[in-house]
Structure 1
Amino acid sequence: MIEYFKSDARLLSPLYEFEPGCWVNLVRPTSEEITHVLATTGVEEDFLRAALDPEESSRVELEEDQTLLIVDIPTLEESNVEQDESKIFGTLPMGIIVLPNTVITVCLQDTTVLRGIAQNKVRDIHTAMRTRFVLQILLRVAGLFLRNLRMIERDFTKIERRLYDSLKNEELIQLLGLSKSLVYFSASLKGNEVTMEKMLRGRILKLYEDDRDLLEDALIEIRQAIEMAGIYSSILAGTMDAYASVVSNNLNIIMKVLTVITIIMTIPNIIFGFYGMNITGNDLPFAYWWWVPVVISIGGCIGAWIYMKRKDLL
């Protein structure tokens, strides 16, 4: 999909074809669309295809008067657990190509970062001011990371509340999914931080004073997101360790109870085993009183239960 937008009176208006000073948005473009953009804008083909590789890492590349920025953005993935209320997040590369007369964005998915800009949810967008427009995109990427981290924290709190009551595999799988999301976020955020720090030096894009302030704001949010991801990862790791300890402790309690029950049930077996031996009745006490072994068995069981209760074995 190809979309063209151009700012007019601080609002973005869609265009039907390319114009100098516009913003070109590519979402999972086809080969024909890539060929069309190459012919109309003169962008480097390697730059255009770089962000279409889902394994591409965050980086900056310069080629004559063209600049390629690749940053990772958070995406929502589908959960493999049925009726799973928590969310699993991943990251996806997004390419931002700055040309002398336009800005091109390339991504494999239609993200809320760019869709919000296209729907005029961001104020003071000027597509002709290429550097400022790129920095506004980066600021929205940082904000999206922070929002998704807060969503992870809320999902973690919900799971934690029912974790120690249910002790089911579903909760453990959900925690593993959140842990996986935090690992992806941490790696992507650190890559984005390095890319923005390179931009802050002013060698990649010419920065004016307002642009520098905007980039510093984006860097602050990225670093805050890195710190939040680290804190949440530590809390999640501690919770999973506690979960394992609770499961192990519950198993020990169950085994202890079963052992006590087995010991108590052994007493009647021993007593009735004596009276069931193939010997003459005169050799056993009370051999002809059937209720005697029953009483002895019951008394032995009660005595064993009292003893174990006093020893705190139950």
Structure 2
Amino acid sequence: MLKIYKSHENGPLTELSLKTLENGAWINIVAPTPYELKVVGNLTEVEPDFLRSALDDEERSHIDIEDDSVMILTNVPVIREEGGYDTLPLAIIVTEEYIITVCLEETPVLSYFNEKNARFFRTFKKTRFLFQILYRSATFYLSYLRQISKQSDEIERNLRHSMRNQEILKLLELQKSLTFFNASLRSNGAVLDKLMRLRTNSTMQPMLKYYEEDEDLLEDVIIENKQAKEMVEMYSKILARLADTFSSIISNNLNQVMKFLAAVTILLAIPTVISSFFGMNVPVPMSESTWAFSYIFGIAGILVVVCGYLLWKRDMF
């Protein structure tokens, strides 16, 4: 999917086409076809490798600089249908005339920049728009981390009442999501630090013009990213300890069940042994008595009660 937008000074966002492409436009490419990449590359004279960089879902965040363009590859958070969280590479290419974004999927980070919110951004202010995208990505990390925190609290409450496999699997899914977030936030932090260092690079001025408010916005992005990274580390430790705790509880519950079953087996063995002795096809005591069954049953019952009491005193029940 290929969409082209351009902001106007008074606020509205206009959708353009390849034939009406203007300076200051934002070219948004989602799940591109080879034809779309080729057309955009020819019109903007951007390196083909820049446009294809976000098509590898394992690509890590980094910055590439050419003479007339700079490519910032960052990882943005997404929610999967199965309830887990993941990250996707997003390539933001800034040239003297345009800003181009390339991603494998439609993400909530870029979906925020629409006609409804057009008054909050300007596509022709490329540096600020770049930092606004990065800031929105950091805020979505924080939002998803709060959701993960709520889900972990709910899982903990459920596990207190029942040790179901479904809850354990949810816990593992959240741990996996935090692992993805941790790796992405670390690499994103390195990119942000490099962007801060590049503000004094004169060769970057044609593509990235830093104004005072832009530097303040970049500092906000760095702060939000650091906060998200700290939250990921904290939640990862909490979930790891939670998993260890409930693993110990499950093991302890299993031991309790096995102890109970062992005690029941001992109690059942007593009448079994007695009945087996008196059931042998040889002369045995009370074999001629009409009350033999009652006596044997009473003896077995008394022994079971005595043995049960001793096991109870030893906390076997």
User: What TM-score, normalized to structure 1?
Assistant: 0.93
When the two chains are superposed, the root-mean-square deviation of aligned CA atoms in Å is 1.5
CA offset at residue 124 of structure 1?
3.1
Q: What does residue range 174-213 of structure 1 map to in structure 2 within 5 Å?
A: 174-201=170-197, 202=199, 203=201, 205-213=208-216
2:14 is matched with which residue? 13
2:90 is matched with which residue? 94
1:242 is matched with which residue? 245
Larger mean Cα displacement after TM superposition, 272-281 or 63-72: 272-281
Larger mean Cα displacement after TM superposition, 150-159 or 221-230: 150-159
2:275 is matched with which residue? 272
Q: Is the 8 A contact 1:11 1:124 kept in 2?
A: no
2:162 is matched with which residue? 166
Give deviations 1:147-179, integer Å, cap 9, x for gaps: 111111111111111113221111111111110
CA offset at residue 52 of structure 1?
1.4
Aligned residues: 305
CA offset at residue 277 of structure 1?
2.5
- Alpha-carbon distance in structure 1 between the residues aligned to 2:188 and 2:259: 53
CA offset at residue 180 of structure 1?
0.5
1:73 is matched with which residue? 76
Q: Secondary structure at the match of 1:117?
A: coil
- Alpha-carbon distance in structure 1 between the residues aligned to 2:68 and 2:217: 23
1:142 is matched with which residue? 138
Larger mean Cα displacement after TM superposition, 33-42 or 212-221: 33-42
For structure 1, which runs of at least 5 residues remain unmatched after alignment? 80-86
- Alpha-carbon distance in structure 1 between the residues aligned to 2:295 and 2:25: 101
2:114 is matched with which residue? 118
Larger mean Cα displacement after TM superposition, 197-206 or 69-78: 197-206
Q: Is the 8 A contact 1:275 1:287 kept in 2?
A: no
CA offset at residue 122 of structure 1?
5.8
- Alpha-carbon distance in structure 1 between the residues aligned to 2:140 and 2:288: 84
Q: Of 103, 106, 111, which aligns to 1:107? A: 103
**Mapped pair 1:260 → 2:256:** no
Q: Secondary structure at the match of 1:6?
A: strand
**Mapped pair 1:3 → 2:3:** yes
- Alpha-carbon distance in structure 2 between the residues aligned to 1:250 and 1:244: 10
- Alpha-carbon distance in structure 2 between the residues aligned to 1:183 and 1:74: 12
- Alpha-carbon distance in structure 1 between the residues aligned to 2:50 and 2:25: 18
Q: Secondary structure at the match of 1:101?
A: coil
**Mapped pair 1:64 → 2:59:** no
Larger mean Cα displacement after TM superposition, 110-119 or 228-237: 110-119
Runs of 4+ in 1 over 4 A off after TM superposition: none
Q: Is the 8 A contact 1:116 1:122 kept in 2?
A: no
CA offset at residue 222 of structure 1?
0.3
Q: Secondary structure at the match of 2:13?
A: strand
- Alpha-carbon distance in structure 1 between the residues aligned to 2:186 and 2:121: 27
- Alpha-carbon distance in structure 1 between the residues aligned to 2:297 and 2:123: 94
Give deviations 1:41-73, integer Å, cap 9, x for gaps: 111111111111112110001000200000000
Larger mean Cα displacement after TM superposition, 25-34 or 176-185: 25-34
CA offset at residue 287 of structure 1?
5.4
For structure 2, which runs of at least 5 residues remain unmatched after alignment? none
Q: Is the 8 A contact 2:61 2:72 kept in 1?
A: yes
Q: Is the 8 A contact 1:56 1:93 kept in 2?
A: yes
User: What TM-score, normalized to structure 2?
Assistant: 0.92
- Alpha-carbon distance in structure 2 between the residues aligned to 1:287 and 1:184: 80
1:83 is matched with which residue? none
Q: Is the 8 A contact 2:148 2:174 kept in 1?
A: yes
Q: Secondary structure at the match of 2:282?
A: coil
Give deviations 1:79-134, integer Å, cap 9, x for gaps: 2xxxxxxx201110000000001100111111111111123326431111111111
- Alpha-carbon distance in structure 2 between the residues aligned to 1:270 and 1:112: 71
CA offset at residue 310 of structure 1?
2.2
1:82 is matched with which residue? none
